[in-house]
Amino acid sequence: MCGTYWLQLPPEMPPTVGVVVFPGTNCEHDVVHALGLLGMRAQIKWHGDSELGDCDAVVLPGGFAHGDYLRPGAIARFSKVMSSIVKMAEAGKPVLGICNGFQVLTEAKLLPGALQKNAGLRFICDVEKLEVASNRSVASTLLQLGEIISLPINHFEGNYTCDHVTYDMLVENDQIVFKYVDNPNGSVGSIAAISNPRGNVVGMMPHPERAVEELVGGTDGRKVLSSFIEAVLNG
Amino acid sequence: MGLRAHRRSYVAGYFTLRYEAVVEVLLKDGVSDPEGMTILDAVVSLGYGSVERVATGKLFRLLLNADDENAAADVVTQIAEQLLSNPVLEDFRVRDLLAAASS
């Protein structure tokens, strides 16, 4: 590209969220729609593109990255784009993994623990009540501590698991973001979402992007995504 | 490289041996295994009420070149640790490590 092209660009690009797509990801358009609805520019990024340099934040949407082969998220961890995501996480930029995206973040060791198959043998597709356990993370700053919100879940491997040491660390560092009111899948400590110690990387099993319009069952997801957008704008 | 045809293959300037490794990955105790539980139900329905537990897992067969058995075992163990198993949920075992037969 020639220099003049760049000179013609506006001096500052509007903040942009990269929405990463792996083969088998299927919630990317919902995420782009939901973010757009809340006034945030979002761009779909193919996992083979190693750079997210033009993005200020990243969302790993739900689906079945690489067909969930081996384990959910296990192969996605080796995608070119992951090194970029790791860099953003380390730089303190907002990183949000939803459902399968949460599984990818744990496999990539950006978040501790793992998601095992639901207790009770079932794939669960339902709306769950969640309690806000921390409003320090990029997905929860606009929520009140203890506030109850309703978000849809849609998963088979959503049973959050970690050892006692890790769990104590999560509690001590205020890393538990959302807890299920009625634990549907057997998760340790009813955990539905966690963050890294700094709070800029969040993984959550519930789908906030599916709860942004009254017509399709609630708008509580807006509070989650608006928190994320606020973090992007203040980043 | 003649992986399938020769027992000895020429890699990076010297001859190495070919090994076949079998890695077994099983869920840790306490990790839910819906597939195993469902199969157990079927086993009992089949009339084998004496069976108490069925555990499912994965089995990987790797064919590799290495200088000797220890080197092969090291490589396979690293792969099992880093990729084939998730240490939070699963245990692995390198079950067999055989010098692969020439064909």
Q: Span A21-37, mean pLDDT? A: 96
N residues, chain A: 235
Chain A CB contacts of B83 under 8 Å are 70, 74
Question: Chain A interface residues facing chain B, Cβ-Cβ under 8 Å?
Answer: 70-71, 74, 106-107, 113-114, 116-122, 159, 161-163, 186
Which residue in the set A70, A114, A120 is minimally distant from B88, CB to CB?
A114
Closest Cα in chain B, distance from residue A167 (Å): 12
- Partnered with residue B24 across adjacent β-strands are B59, B93
Least confident of A70-79, A96-105, B42-51: A70-79
Q: Is residue B47 part of a domain?
A: no
Q: Is residue B18 part of a domain?
A: yes
Say what percent of chain A tops pLDDT 70.
Answer: 95
User: Could you tell me the residue range of the domain that residue B95 belongs to?
Assistant: 8-31+57-99
The better pLDDT of the pair B29, A60 is held by A60
Nearest C-alpha neighbor of A222 from the set A212, A231, A214: A212
- A44 contact partners, CB below 8 Å, separation of at least 6: A19, A21, A28, A29, A32
Q: Is residue A42 part of a domain?
A: yes
pLDDT band at B15 (very low <50, low <70, confident <90, very high): low
Axis-axis angle for helices A28-37, A220-234 (nearest 10): 80
Q: Which two tokens stand for residue A101?
A: 């995206």
Q: Is residue A3 part of a domain?
A: no
The Cα–Cα gap between A95 and A60 comes to 8
Say what percent of chain A tops pLDDT 90.
Answer: 86
| CATH number of the CATH domain containing A168 | 3.40.50.880
Which residue in the set A113, A116, A122 is minimally distant from B31, CB to CB?
A116
Q: Is the pLDDT of residue A188 over 50?
A: yes
Q: What is the side-by-side strand order in the sheet with A16-21? A: A41-46, A16-21, A57-60, A95-98, A201-204, A191-195, A176-180, A124-132, A148-155
Q: Is residue B41 part of a domain?
A: no
Say what percent of chain B tops pLDDT 90.
Answer: 59
- Mean pLDDT for chain A? 92
C-alpha torsion sign, points A151, A156, A162, A166: negative
Q: Span B24-46, mean pLDDT? A: 91
Which residue in the set A70, A74, A121 is minimally distant from B37, CB to CB?
A121
> B83 vs A70: CB contact, 8 Å cut-off?
yes
> B31 vs A113: CB contact, 8 Å cut-off?
no
Q: Is the pLDDT of residue A114 over 60?
A: yes
The better pLDDT of the pair B9, B27 is held by B27
End-to-end CA distance of chain A: 29
Helix (H) or strand (E) holding A223: helix A220-234
Res A217: pLDDT: 76
- Partnered with residue B52 across adjacent β-strands are none
User: Could you tell me the residue range of the domain that residue A29 belongs to?
Assistant: 12-234
Res B3: pLDDT: 30
> A119 vs B32: CB contact, 8 Å cut-off?
yes
A125 is catalytic: no
- A232 contact partners, CB below 8 Å, separation of at least 6: A15, A17, A40, A56, A57, A94
**How far is CA B76 from each of CA A74, A203, B58, rounded to the nearest angstrom?**
17, 31, 15
Instruction: Report pLDDT digits (tens) over A140-162.
Output: 999 999 999 999 999 999 999 99
Q: Is residue B82 part of a domain?
A: yes
Q: Is the pLDDT of residue B4 over 50?
A: no
pLDDT band at A3 (very low <50, low <70, confident <90, very high): very low
The Cα–Cα gap between B75 and B68 comes to 11
Res A1: pLDDT: 43
| CATH number of the CATH domain containing B70 | 3.30.1280.10
Q: Which two tokens stand for residue B55?
A: 């555990």
**Number of separate domains in chain A:** 1
**Number of separate domains in chain B:** 1
Q: Is residue B76 part of a domain?
A: yes
ipTM: 0.78
Instruction: Report pLDDT digits (tens) over A190-227.
Output: 999 999 999 999 999 999 999 999 998 799 999 999 99
A207 is catalytic: yes
Q: Span A20-32, mean pLDDT? A: 96
Which residue in the set A74, A107, A186 is minimally distant from B32, CB to CB?
A186
Question: Chain B interface residues facing chain A, Cβ-Cβ under 8 Å?
Answer: 27, 31-34, 37-38, 83-84, 86, 88-89
Q: Span A72-81, mean pLDDT? A: 92
